Amino acid sequence: MKKTIPLMIVICGGILWLLWVFVPHTIMADGFYSKFYLPWARAMAPFAIILGIFSLSMMHTAKIRRRAPKWQYSYFFFAGFIATSLAGFIGGTQKGGLYMWMFENMAMPMSATMFSLLAFYMASAAYKAFRARSAEATVLLAAAIVVMLAQVPLGVKISKHLPTISQWILDVPNLAAKRGIMLGVGLGSVATTLKIMLGIERSYLGGD
């Protein structure tokens, strides 16, 4: 019973979504999706985040209690969590309040900093990828050089054909490989969905 009822809910939900794809009728488009699904999805999300907050708090509390390595950092979690919550609950989340100020002046720059690191990591990854250790890697290196050179004015200076070759690499072999992967992904998605709908795949219920 513990698994049968959730399984039935999932199967019914799956069939409903399948119908949603093939039935454009207003009953499905407005009645089911806009008036039923969306409000429920929105209403459920805040309850789920409580679980998340509780889990994170438990983890950091345990860390502090056990004096796990670098346990002092856990205080920053609580400090940040409480400060942000207070700022939001007391001052509101609109522009001009402390909450939005913290978001714009702390969270966003920190996120941007992390994102900017990507450039260096990409350079490092590119170095690894372009080492011509095998025939395949050499092809990769050559293709990458052509594509990269074609993106800059120097490339056109070297040869007027470089942009054409680059575009061909992107449009033909690259796109063919991408589409091949996407075809597999698409079929795999449908297979996974069918497995779930037919009750073959049950790992999401917790367990096999």
Partner 1 sequence: MRLSNRLLKLTLLLAFAVALGLSVASKDPASGRNVVEDLRVEDIPSDNGDGLVVSWKPLHRSKRIIEYRIYRGVHPDTLFFTQAVPVNPNVGFAGDRMYFYDSGFGEFIDITSPGKLKQEKQQKPGSPLYRKIPRDMELAARLSESYDIYASVERSAFYKRAKKVYSANEADSTAYAGFQFRHQNLLASMRPGVTYYYSVVAVDERSRFQDPAPVVSGSPFPNAPEEAAALYGVWLDDTRELRFEWEYPMVKDNIMQYQIHMVSGIDADAWENVKDNPDQRSAYLRPITSGPAGGGALPAYTAVPMPDGIPANAQFAIELMNRVGSAFSSLAAPRMLDSTHLPEKPTFYVEDKPNDKGDRLSVIWDHPIVFVTKTTSLDRNNSRLQVNYQLNKTDTQDVKNLYFEFTKMGENKPFTTIKEYYQDMSFIINVPKGYDYRKGFKVRITMEGQKVDRKSYTLEQELRWDESMMTLMPGKELWRNGVEVSKIQNVVFRRGITSPMYVMMKRNTCFDNNLDVNVPYPSTVGKLVSGFSFVKDGNLHTYMNGERHMRKLKAGESRSGYALVSPEVSFTYDAETGTQLSFNIFRDEAFKQVENDKKELATLKSQIAKADSPDPQLQAQVDALETQVKLYDTNENVIEALKIKGQRAWTRFITKIREPESRQHNYKVVKTDTRGLFVEADLDVNEEGEPNFHFPISNWFAKDKFVTLIAVIVYGALVVTFVTLAKRGKQLYIRPIAGLDEIDNAVGRATEMGRPMLYCMGHGGLSDVATLASMSIITQVAKKAAEYDTKMIVPCYDYIVLPIVQEIVREAHYSVGRPDTYDKNNIFYLTNSQFAYVAAVNGIMIREKMATNFFLGYFSAEALLMTETGNTVGAVQIAGTDSVTQIPFFITTCDYTLIGEELYAAGAYLNREPMLLGTLKAQDYFKIIIVFLVVVGSLLSSLQVMTLLNILPTK
Considering only residues 59 to 78 of the shown chain, the ones binding partner 1 according to CB under 8 A are 59, 61-62, 64-65, 69-70, 73, 75, 78
Pick out residues in 27-66 that bind partner 1 (CB under 8 A): 27-30, 45, 48-49, 51-53, 55-59, 61-62, 64-65
Site track 110-149 with partner 1 (rule: CB under 8 A), x = hit:
xxxxxx-xx--xx-xxx-xx--------------------
Q: Of the ranges 91-99, 151-159, 165-173, which one interacts with partner 1 (CB under 8 A)?
A: 91-99
Q: Which is nearer to partner 1, 125 or 154 (CB)?
A: 125
Q: Give ∠ CA 108-110-114 in degrees, rounded to 5.
A: 115
DSSP three-state, residue 174? helix
Alpha carbon dihedral 51, 52, 53, 59, in 10-degree steps, equals 110
- Give how many residues touch partner 1 by CB under 8 A: 87
190 binds partner 1 (CB under 8 A): yes
Q: Which is nearer to partner 1, 80 or 158 (CB)?
A: 80
- CB-based contacts of 60, cutoff 8 Å, min separation 6: 74, 77, 78
Query: Looking at 1, 22, 43, 153, which residue binds partner 1 (CB under 8 A)?
Result: 22
DSSP three-state, residue 151? coil
Q: Of the ranges 148-156, 165-173, 185-193, which one interacts with partner 1 (CB under 8 A)?
A: 185-193
Distances (CA, A) of 139 to 26, 76, 82, 145: 53, 49, 54, 10
Shortest reach from residue 195's CB to partner 1, in Å: 5
Tell me the one-letter amino acid at 123. Answer: A
- CB-based contacts of 109, cutoff 8 Å, min separation 6: none
C-beta of residue 163 within 8 angstroms of C-beta of residue 155: yes
